[in-house]
């Protein structure tokens, strides 16, 4: 693992800059290939090298050819997969758009999440008056809007939508409550409440199916070092050792970062975009992997509580299949950490993944 030299070479050639002035930013699978973020010295925003082969509404940067295997290069925020991103990424444009919806603010938009080629999330304002702009591929808007409606009918605490457009923009209100990461929750109680949330999710009337994290296993294995590849081999064995339960509606990316708490309840749940009929093990695996990765980054008084949450999640949901899926999630984090040079975090993730794949507690390597 390391800086993707072929992507660096392509960008260096396209921009006519020395390769040693280009640093790694990010990389993840997209379509039939990947999208790699690279930072060029003295440039204000990263560039992206896209080998996905996916069609886009219009080109916003460079394209190597008209072939199906063409490579695209663009600079943030001109993402060709997300045509609504650039127009709302700047102050006046976002404020004008919101004014047309009857929402008046002089606050600046802030990009808080960005997965190139997939989605971006911007927030404007603060407190209860905060508004969220979600930018997705135009082809996904209708499904996401319908997912919100289905979740709301099912009694799930999703934030209301203000408006949406076919260009890939969804405007929504602030979720009710306080983000879970800002609340001193009790780990056992939170696990119980997540279990109740999963039961509500399973009753939602929804038919869209989507592949789970196991679909990324081969992509990760191709880019992993020998140690991580061995973990992925073990993870595959765990997944295949246990037959999947009957498909059910799952959140698709359920973790405490998606939850808001109020009056002792889960009062809000966000990012319902991934709602799908799939393997019921997906949500426990996502929750456990996120809790584990977060615990490694938590310091001070909250550290023991973070590890307790990970351990309780493993105890409650840690079947062989769930543990295998967790290791696939963690492998993605390991590869990303190694590529950006964070070797200490990569080693910590590797130790935790080894404990989980062997049936142990996530906190075992650290406690």
pLDDT exceeds cutoff 80 at 321: yes
Residue 303 CA to residue 294 CA, distance in Å, equals 9
- The pLDDT confidence band at residue 81, using thresholds 50, 70 and 90, is very high
Residue 309 CA to residue 311 CA, distance in Å, equals 5
Task: Calculate mean pLDDT across residues 72-85.
Answer: 95
- The pLDDT confidence band at residue 90, using thresholds 50, 70 and 90, is confident
As separate numbers, helices (DSSP H) first and strands (DSSP E) second, the chain gives 11, 15
354: tokens are 């080894």
Task: Calculate mean pLDDT across residues 176-189.
Answer: 92
- Nearest CA to 256 among 239, 264, 268? 268
Residue 64 CA to residue 47 CA, distance in Å, equals 15
CATH architecture, domain 178-366: Alpha-Beta Complex (3.90)
pLDDT exceeds cutoff 80 at 327: yes
Task: Calculate mean pLDDT across residues 24-39.
Answer: 91
Contact predicate 343/291, CB 8 Å: no
pLDDT tens digits, 208-255 = 999 999 999 999 999 999 999 999 999 999 999 999 999 999 999 999
Task: Calculate mean pLDDT across residues 135-147.
Answer: 96
- The pLDDT confidence band at residue 129, using thresholds 50, 70 and 90, is confident
pTM, full prediction: 0.90
Q: Which residues are CB-contacts of 9 (< 8 A; sequence separation ≥ 6)?
A: 19
pLDDT of residue 2: 46
> What fold, for 85-173?
Phosphorylase Kinase; domain 1 (3.30.200)
The residue count for the chain: 367
Contact predicate 236/125, CB 8 Å: no
β-bridge mates for residue 55, sequence order: none
pLDDT of residue 68: 63
Sign of the dihedral defined by the CA atoms of residues 242, 243, 245, 250, in that order: positive
pLDDT tens digits, 244-299 = 999 999 999 999 999 999 988 999 999 999 999 999 999 999 999 999 999 999 98
pLDDT tens digits, 151-165 = 999 999 999 999 999
Q: Tell me which H or E stretch contains 36.
A: strand 33-40
Q: What is the DSSP string of 109-176?
A: PEEEEEETTTEEEEEES-GGG-EEEEEE-GGGHHHHHHHHHHHHHTT--PPPEEEEETTTEEEEEPPS
Query: Domain ranges in the chain?
Result: 5-75, 85-173, 178-366
3-state secondary structure at position 1? coil
- The pLDDT confidence band at residue 28, using thresholds 50, 70 and 90, is confident
Same CATH topology for 85-173 and 178-366? no
pLDDT exceeds cutoff 90 at 4: no
Q: Tell me which H or E stretch contains 240.
A: helix 226-241
Contact predicate 140/164, CB 8 Å: no
**How many degrees, rounded to 5, is the angle at CA 239 between CA 227 and CA 366?**
50
pLDDT of residue 6: 87
166: tokens are 């076919």
3-state secondary structure at position 12? helix
Task: Calculate mean pLDDT across residues 86-91.
Answer: 84
């Amino acid at each position: 693992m390391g800086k993707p030299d072929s992507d660096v070479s392509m960008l260096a050639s396209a921009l006519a800059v020395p390769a040693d002035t280009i640093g790694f930013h990010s990389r993840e699978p997209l379509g039939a290939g990947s999208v790699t973020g690279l930072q060029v010295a003295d440039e204000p925003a990263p560039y992206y090298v896209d080998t996905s082969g996916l069609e886009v509404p219009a080109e916003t940067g460079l394209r190597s050819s008209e072939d199906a295997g063409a490579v695209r290069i663009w600079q943030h925020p001109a993402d060709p997969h997300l045509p609504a991103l650039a127009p709302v990424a700047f102050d006046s444009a976002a404020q004008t758009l919101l004014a047309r919806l009857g929402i008046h603010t002089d606050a600046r938009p802030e990009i808080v999440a960005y997965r190139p080629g997939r989605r971006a999330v911007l927030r404007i304002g603060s407190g209860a008056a905060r508004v969220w702009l979600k930018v997705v591929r135009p082809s996904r808007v209708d499904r996401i809007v319908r997912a919100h409606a289905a979740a709301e009918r099912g009694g799930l605490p999703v934030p209301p939508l203000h408006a949406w457009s076919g260009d890939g923009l969804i405007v929504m209100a602030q979720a009710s409550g306080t983000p879970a990461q800002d609340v001193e929750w009790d780990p056992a109680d939170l696990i119980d409440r997540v279990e109740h949330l999963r039961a509500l999710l399973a009753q939602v009337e929804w038919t869209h199916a989507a592949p789970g994290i196991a679909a990324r296993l081969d992509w990760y294995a191709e880019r992993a070092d020998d140690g991580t590849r061995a973990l992925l081999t073990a993870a595959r064995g765990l997944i295949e050792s246990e037959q999947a339960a009957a498909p059910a509606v799952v959140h698709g990316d359920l973790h405490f970062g998606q939850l808001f708490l109020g009056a002792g309840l889960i009062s809000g749940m966000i990012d319902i975009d991934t709602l799908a009929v799939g393997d019921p093990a997906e949500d426990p695996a996502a929750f456990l992997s996120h809790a584990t990765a977060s615990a490694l980054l938590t310091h001070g008084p909250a550290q023991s509580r973070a590890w307790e949450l990970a351990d309780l999640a493993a105890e409650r949901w840690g079947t062989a299949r769930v543990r295998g899926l967790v290791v696939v999630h963690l492998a993605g984090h390991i590869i990303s950490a190694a590529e950006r040079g964070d070797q200490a975090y990569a080693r910590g993730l590797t130790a935790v993944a080894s404990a989980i794949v062997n049936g142990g507690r996530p906190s075992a390597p650290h406690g």
